[in-house]
Amino acid sequence: MTTITRFAPSPTGRLHVGNIRTALHNWMLARKTSGRFVLRIDDTDAERSEERFVDAIRADLDWLGLTPDAEERQSERLALYDAAFEKLKASGRVYPAYETHQELELKRKIQLGRGLPPIYDRGALQLSEGDRVAKEADGIAPHWRFKLDHDEPITWDDGVRGAQKFDPAQLSDPVIRRADGSWLYMLPSAVDDIDMGITDVLRGEDHVSNTAVQIQMFTALGSEPPRFAHEALLVGKEGKLSKRLGSLGCDAMREKGIEPEALIAMLARLGTSQPVEPIADRHLLLDTFDLSTFGRAPAKFDDAELERVNTAIVHVMPYADAEPRLPKGIDEDGWHAIRPNLSTVAEASEWWRLVTGPIDAREFDEETREYLAQAEKALSWSDTPWQDLISTLKETTGRKGKALFLPLRQALTGMDHGPDMGELLPLIGEDRARERLDRAKRG
């Protein structure tokens, strides 16, 4: 059976790294077995959903290389939900309830005060037909609840958490439809999973109790539930992640120069027993992807760790991948020379200034200026000008180590550190090198 997974964001804000991690793991679960990855836009909340966020979700997934095989929108599937609702209604698995939010909150407080679980008491089921008619005559429109079957425990083998068991009597009958006719998450999601042939649902552990309820919905609708797995949540420095944390969104990552490969490498293994490594090869990440390695403890997202992974990714990035974003003039040799000094590709322009100039002028004492004058005379151009220059000066001046190298680097680049001079000097070229040495020897 072909593995089919789905990522189902609500377009009420930008994706944050927690959402991205869920999307990535579903993409990996599908791709590992050449399956299908579906993007489902959960936009039934018309008041909060915005088209600009739909566009942003698509753009973010595209930037990350998590392109879905298909896209569905819940707002275009309302007829399916209506049909499922009527089927459940006919079989007695949904029922109208009339309590206001305030009444439900009061019931909850009373139950908590008595040491009881704050679950719905099924008061609406005690209403007679006459009671319901009277309430609706008073203008009270019902919301609708799914009636859980209390006869048997709800069980499943979770891909991350192992054997799970819930007593349905300890769960509230969930509201599936509001009084205005709009849908909540539970039923449309189950209907979509059935219609789309979803075989595996991988999501956060905050959905575990939802899964218990939805398993009964699948059964009530005459379908076999998919396989479920619930991974530990991702947390940030301030605790639980949310769409309000803009610094943890793809747009902010791009602005900081984070490579998609770095974010993928980190999120692929964060929260598993496998080490987070700067792996740009997604085939290797897929080969090692295994739900059995997922831990139960919340995984902490660390910006500093992401930056370390990003730096390592940049340091091995092929020229062809970087070239479209590099300043004009940087060829493969130039990229190879400056790449070890970069944290982001965007920093390349600053380091390339060491080649093209202008460089910062340095002040040298008389002894050093005399040494640089000797260097200018000793400079001979070949395939290895730096190595030849160092060899000659070491022999003629007796200098070694820092005294030999540092003044030359300072005169030729204006800096105390930087790219390997053996690679950099040929890029600077003979004319610029002689000009810089001449200026330096004159002070």
Q: Which of 177, 195, 220 is the last residue of a domain?
A: 177
pLDDT value at position 271? 94
Residue 45 belongs to some domain of the structure: no
Residue 40 belongs to some domain of the structure: no
Annotated binding-site residues for ATP read 243
0.85 exceeded by the pTM? yes
Residue 39 belongs to some domain of the structure: no
- How many structural domains are present in the chain? 2
Cis peptide before 358 (omega within 30 of 0): yes
Residues 412, 425 contacting (CB under 8 angstroms): yes
pLDDT value at position 49? 93
Q: What is the spatial distance between Cα 410 and Cα 406, in angstroms, rounded to a whole number? A: 6
Q: In what order do the strands lie in the sheet with 299-300?
A: 239-240, 234-236, 299-300
Q: Which of 145, 177, 209 is the last residue of a domain?
A: 177
Residue 147 belongs to some domain of the structure: yes
Q: What is the spatial distance between Cα 278 and Cα 310, in angstroms, rounded to a whole number? A: 7
Contacts of 440 (CB under 8 A, 6+ apart): 362, 364, 369, 372, 410, 411
Q: Would you list the DSSP string of 169-224?
A: GGSPPPEEE-TTS-B-SHHHHHHHHHHTT--EEEEEGGGHHHHHHHHHHHHHTT--
Residue 125: give the domain boundaries.
80-177
The low-confidence residues of the chain, meaning pLDDT below 70, are 238-247
pLDDT digits (tens, 9 = 90+) for 90-101: 999 999 999 999
The SS3 assignment for 140 reads coil
Residue 376 belongs to some domain of the structure: yes
CA nearest neighbour of 38 among 206, 217, 192: 192
Q: What is the CATH number of the domain that holds 434?
A: 1.10.10.350
Residue 339 belongs to some domain of the structure: no
Annotated binding-site residues read 243
Residue 390 belongs to some domain of the structure: yes
Residue 422 belongs to some domain of the structure: yes
Q: What is the CATH number of the domain that holds 93?
A: 3.90.800.10
* Partners of 164 in beta bridges: 156
Q: Which of 122, 152, 177 is the last residue of a domain?
A: 177
